[in-house]
Amino acid sequence: MAKAIFAPFADQWGPEKIIHIYEPRLPMRAIVVIDNTALGPAIGGIRMAPDLTTEEVFRLARTMTWKNAAAGLPHGGGKAGILADPGLPLAEKERLMRTLARAMADLTEYIPGPDMGTDEVCMAFIYDENRRAAGRPKVTGGIPLDELGATGFGLSVAAEQLAGHLGMSLVGARMAIQGFGNVGKAAAKFLEKSGAVLVAASDSAGAIYNPHGLNVGRLLALKEQGGKVTDYTDADAIPADAIFSLPCDILIPAARPDVINLGNAPQIQAKMILQGANIPIALEAERFLHERGVLTLPDFIVNAGGVITTATEYRHGSTAAAFAAIAEKIRENCQAVLRLVREKNLFPREAALELAQNRVREGMSYRRRF
Ligand code: NAD
């Protein structure tokens, strides 16, 4: 019986708590997973989606354990999910957020932040209830991480390191981005500053391609006005999945989990893949790509810009401090992982996990055992 309840998640790292919250009067169904708090209170976003599962929330919480540890943050990993449509009217979202916040009032080892389907306004409601949330609006002491493009900035820092390892230049490098949202748009903007050329982009409505380059400024303006990437003129519309097989140097999945798998990995022509989304590559495809010489470092190393900003906000740090920390931590971590790959011939995910797990293991050694 115990096995049925705790398997398949429980292992030597956690999760410490899996909480299912149900409020029949709304109704509200939510899942909170506190994975590991050896390094400090867990930090991780609240996702809103109708089809969330305990397994997805657990996998995301575990990713946060490694991401926070790898980034050297004094935080453990956790994640929450509300099973609801992210397109609900704001008043209904507010009811859900406040109900969840009240249910989590005593869960002081968890600091929520925004994730897909929630935003800074949702965090303001949580903060109003509990005084414990990050990724809040500016007037309540928040750093607007999506507006600033913190995660996309971090991806551009990682790209410099990966390019150095490959001996390639970012100047003129062609990039294709799946998911032209907060992360994808900022990655395009910052990588363009490094000289890269955007040749393809997609959103949930479709994908476009122009081998001579897309104008990032025009595409950003179009999205700002509520448009779709397919509204961009001067590019060909292509099937959504074709974005993975185009001739390009840098591929950036910045939408949903598991979008690169053994089905499409053999067609990938890029030299490097920047994992903007969380768990965008199925593990077996990541191994396959490594063996084929396509360089990709794990999501929890390269897309840590958002959580580094959230953790800086939690300590009342400034935007400048957050960006300096992103540049330093992502650069150092990429170098450390690439060194292990070079010297020990490790698979990058194993190398990165070794780095993160050593920190969590040490944190766990200081905890009371009884
Ligand atoms: P977002 O909602 O702003 O953007 C997602 C984009 O993906 C949208 O443009 C959407 O239209 C597009 N999209 C959705 N399904 C698609 C599909 N099947 N094909 C092509 N495009 C599709 O979200 P975001 O904040 O940019 O987050 C994107 C991913 O990055 C998520 O996995 C998130 O967990 C992860 N992430 C975000 C941050 C952050 O700072 N925002 C940090 C780390 C990781």
Residues annotated catalytic, as ranges: 79
Cα–Cα dist 347/230, whole Å? 37
Is residue 242 helix, strand or coil? helix
| Residue 146, pLDDT score | 87
Cα–Cα dist 188/192, whole Å? 6
Q: Give distance in angstroms: CA of 364 to centre of ligand 1.
A: 33
Tokens of 133: 């949330």
Q: What is the pTM of this model?
A: 0.93
Cα–Cα dist 27/83, whole Å? 10
| Residue 116, pLDDT score | 86
Q: Give distance in angstroms: CA of 5 to centre of ligand 1.
A: 32
CA angle, 60 as apex, 59 and 62 as ends, to 5°? 65
For ligand 1, whether the C-beta of 113 sits within 6 Å is no
Q: Are 125 and 97 in contact (CB under 8 A)?
A: yes
Q: Are 311 and 75 in contact (CB under 8 A)?
A: yes
**Intervals of the chain under pLDDT 50:** none
For ligand 1, whether the C-beta of 110 sits within 6 Å is no
For ligand 1, whether the C-beta of 254 sits within 6 Å is yes
